[in-house]
Amino acid sequence: MEKYVGQKSRAILFIVKFLLLFGINFWAFGTIIPNADGTGLWFYSALISVLLANNLVTPYYSKPVDAISYSVVSGIALYLVSDYGNWNIFEQSVFWITLAYFSAVLFISFAQIFTKDSSQEWV
């Protein structure tokens, strides 16, 4: 089994996931092209943060600074689509779990940056 996924394979996977996002958008909102308002924001943030980053830019390893930028962009997107007052308990729980995940990535990335050149052995 081949461990290395070539650039052509990553590009094909990107196209498949891109088309899958269009399908999900059609299923959820009844239109293939996402709206330019808050309902379409999930599509654009998923496309930019997840698909481009994971499949084309940094498919094997993300530097801590990349993880910081991805988590900040994802957190902003999460905030912009937030309608916390109208959500049920499940949606609120998913919101807090997602926010906790982005915060953990942010914290761990900064910790790695600050401890990278530490002379202490336990770090």
Domain residue ranges in the chain: 7-115
Tens of pLDDT, residues 74-100: 888 788 777 888 888 988 898 899 899
100, two tokens? 């906790």
Query: What crossing angle do the helices spanning 64-80 and 89-115 adopt, rounded to 10°?
Result: 160
pTM (global) more than 0.85: no
| Rounded alpha-carbon distances, angstroms, from residue 65 to 13, 27, 60, 113 | 25, 35, 15, 8
Q: Within 13 Å and on the Cβ side, how many CA atoms surround 85?
A: 0
